[in-house]
Amino acid sequence: MIILSTFVLIISLVSQSLCEYGSECKTPSIGEGICVPIRSCKPAYDYFTRLTQTGGNISDSERLHIQNLHCGTFRGVHHICCDPAEVQLNPDGLSVLQNQKCGIYTTDKVTNGFEARLSGFPWMALLIYDDESNPYKCAGSLISQQHVLTAAHCIRGRESTIIAIRLGEHRKSTTRDCFTLMEQEKCAPPVEDIGIEEFILHSNYRGVYNDIALVRLNRKVEFKEHIKPICLPIYDNLRTKLYERYIISGWGGTETGNSSDVLRIAVVPRVETASCQVQLQPWGLLNELNEQHLCAGGENLVDSCKGDSGGPMGFGDLYNGRPRFIQYGIVSVGLLKCGVENLSGIYVNVSNYLQWITDHMRVE
């Protein structure tokens, strides 16, 4: 926090104008740049780190240079104009995600459309809406003690109706989830309904574009057997990986057309974006898919469906040398049909939004 205090002191004479996160900016020294939090600009972050270590004394010319780089504030955070090549994942958010206890799962076999093992996907979250007839419209994934990752379309226009986030759920109709093993009943701890402090939607969310959001919980949760965070592909060797198949999980529509009472999992094949575009156009997709998106599904009538929105799509891999489950996608806005042969589902490409995620995780 000393770095931020030093920066605020230096730019205190500059007009505190608002800026749009990630917007284009221009300075005499670096030319074209983008407006990002100071911690996300490596040269600036390194400079202020050294500055605080040497007592914070700078020359008038250095002060003027820093003031010229300041491009405004967004959500109360000072932003700086940075060379796009020098933008780094925000160290504050990154430090939270670099958690060796993420992505620990107990499922050893996944079969299409079958019930998940109890506590097998402990990062699953349910958004609870103030709607007695349909309180569970969307899902999400726990990525830290205080943040849930979900889809923006689950929140936009519904902020006042989302009353809590439920963690540790398996079967929605029971107050406590149990199973019998060798004639002995074993139960998971009770679910936890957590209040909401803040919704953070991508400022450029439009339909299938930038359909991503964070929910900041009103308290830190304690990780337990049935409540644990999922991993995100924050390491370079994972960020660009593509898999032939992915695992999806949720309480969405089943073959009966109703939402599932129990958490279900399925394996879906990855589909090239260009092929996905062609498949979905007759069903109403008018937008062009790009690096923001992943496509999967359309095989054996298995797909994410209504009620799965906001939930994770991922796969198991080595995460910093250890086997972990890593989230690569978020179930995005659906079309009119789901579970249709040769019709893929659209997912938010999480790797493409790691910068946004780490920049918007307020760390205290």
pLDDT in tens, 18-37: 667 888 998 777 789 999 99
Catalytic site positions: 153, 211, 309
Distances (CA, A) of 206 to 30, 62, 76, 92: 31, 40, 24, 28
**Whether 53 and 107 share a structural domain:** no
Instruction: Give the chain's largest Cα–Cα span.
Output: 77
Do both 75 and 157 map to the same domain? no
Q: What is the CATH number of the domain that holds 173?
A: 2.40.10.10
Same domain for 207 and 294?
Answer: yes
Report the Cα–Cα distance between both ends of the chain, in Å, rounded.
10
Alpha-carbon distance 232 to 230, whole Å? 7
Nearest Cα neighbor of 125 from 137, 108, 113, 133 is 137
Q: Output 155 or 19, whichever has higher pLDDT.
A: 155
Q: How many residues does the chain have?
A: 364
Contacts of 54 (CB under 8 A, 6+ apart): none
Return the pLDDT at 300: 54
Question: Among 102, 111, 214, which Cα is nearest to 154's?
Answer: 214
Inter-axis angle of helices 2-10 and 60-69, nearest 10:
100
3-state secondary structure the chain: CHHHHHHHHHCCCCCCCECCCCCEEEECCCEEEEEEEHHHEHHHHHHHHHHHHCCCCCCHHHHHHHHHHEEEEECCEEEEEECHHHECCCHHHHHHHCCCCCCCCCCCCCCCCEECCCCCCCCEEEEEECCCCCCCCEEEEECCCCEEEECHHHCCCCHHHEEEEEECCCECCCCCCEEEECCEEEECCCCEEECEEEEEECCCCECCECCCEEEEECCCCCCECCECCCECCCCHHHHCCCCCEEEEEECCECCCCCECCECEEEEEEEECHHHHHHHHHHHCCCCCCCCCEEEECCECCECCCCCCCCCEEEEEEEECCEEEEEEEEEECCCCCCCCCCCCCEEEEEHHHHHHHHHHHCCCC
Per-residue confidence (pLDDT) for residue 154, from 0 to 100:
94
Residue 111 is predicted with a pLDDT of: 47
Do 80 and 132 belong to one domain?
A: no
- CA–CA separation, 356 vs 204, rounded Å? 11
The whole domain housing 58 covers 2-88
Residue 183 shares a structural domain with residue 107? yes
Q: Does residue 59 share a domain with residue 26?
A: yes
Residue 176 has pLDDT above 90, yes or no: no
What pLDDT, on a 0 to 100 scale, did the predictor assign at position 255? 46
Q: Which of 216, 226, 214 is nearest to 171 (CA)?
A: 226
Q: What angle do CA 325, 223, 238 make, to 5 degrees?
A: 25
Find the mean pLDDT for residues 47-65.
78
> Are 113 and 77 in the same domain?
no
> Mean pLDDT over residues 314-338, rounded?
85
The answer to whether residues 78 and 104 belong to one domain is no
Phi, psi values for residue 61, rounded to 5°: -65, -40
Q: Are residues 103 and 84 in the same domain?
A: no
Please tell me whether residues 308 and 259 are part of one structural domain: yes
Number of domains, the chain: 2
| Model pLDDT for residues 107-124, shown as the tens digit of each residue | 554 445 588 888 899 999
Residues 123, 258, single domain; the answer is yes
134 and 247 assigned to the same domain:
yes
Q: In degrees rounded to 5, what are phi and psi of residue 28? A: -60, -25
The whole-angstrom separation of Cα 219 and Cα 167 is 13
Domain edge (last residue) among 60, 88, 116:
88
What is the predicted pLDDT for the residue at 27?
74
- What b/e string do you get for 21-52 counting C-beta neighbours within 10 Å, with b at 16 or more? bbbebebeebeebbbbbbbbbbebbebbeebe
User: Per-residue confidence at 352, pLDDT binned at 50, 70, 90?
Assistant: very high
| Residue 236 CB partners (closer than 8 Å, separation 6+) | none
User: Beta strand 213-217 with 293-296: parallel, antiparallel or unpaired?
Assistant: unpaired
pLDDT averaged over every residue in the chain: 85
Query: What is this structure's pTM?
Result: 0.89
State the CATH number of the domain containing residue 66.
Answer: 3.30.1640.30
Domain boundary residue among 39, 55, 88? Answer: 88
- Give the model's pLDDT for residue 305: 58
195/219 Cα distance (integer angstroms): 8
Last residue of a domain, one of 88, 117, 137: 88
Q: Is the predicted pLDDT of residue 68 greater than 60, yes or no?
A: yes
